[in-house]
Amino acid sequence: MSEKPPSLPAPSELRAELETLRGRLASLHPDSEPKDNPGADAVLFRLLRGLSPERSDDVQAVLQGFPWVFLPLEDNAYPALSRLQARLDDLTHAAGHDDLTGLARRIVFDQALLTEMERARRSRLSLSLAILDIDDFKQINDDCGHVHGDLVLRTVTEVLRKNIRRADLAARLGGEEFALLMPATTQTSAVYLLERIMDAVRKLRFDCPTASGPQVTVSVGLACYKGFRDMLPVELVELADSALYSAKRTGKDRLEKAPFRDIAPDPASQTLVDTTEKNFLFHGLSS
What is the band of 214 on the pLDDT scale with cuts at 50, 70, 90? confident
Comparing C-alpha atoms, which of 225, 257, 232 is closest to residue 243? 257
Angle between helices 146-163 and 187-202 in degrees, nearest 10: 140
Does 88 have pLDDT greater than 50?
A: yes
pLDDT of 199 strictly over 60:
yes
- Listed in sequence order, the residues at least 6 apart from 56 whose beta carbon sits closer than 8 Å to its beta carbon are 62
Q: Which CATH number does 106-264 carry?
A: 3.30.70.270
The closest of 160, 162, 164 to 176, measured between CA atoms, is 160
Give CATH 3.30.70.270 domain extents, the chain.
106-264
Q: Please list, in sequence order, all residues whose beta carbon lies within 8 angstroms of the beta carbon of residue 35, skipping any fewer than 6 positions away.
A: none
Please list the residues that pair with 255 across neighbouring strands: 220
Quick one: average pLDDT of 72-95? 67
The answer to whether the CB of 223 falls within 8 A of the CB of 214 is no
- Predicted TM-score (pTM) of the model is 0.66
Residues 75/37, Cβ–Cβ less than 8 Å? yes
Other C-beta atoms within 10 Å of 33: how many?
19
Whether 176 sits among the annotated catalytic residues: the reply is: yes
Q: What pLDDT is stored for residue 232 in this prediction?
A: 94
**Contacts of 264-268 spanning 24+ positions with Cβ under 8 A:** 264/228, 264/229, 265/228, 265/229, 266/228, 266/229
Q: What is the pLDDT of residue 176?
A: 96
Catalytic residue among 33, 74, 158, 176: 176
Q: Can you give the pLDDT at residue 151?
A: 94
Mean pLDDT score, 34-55: 54
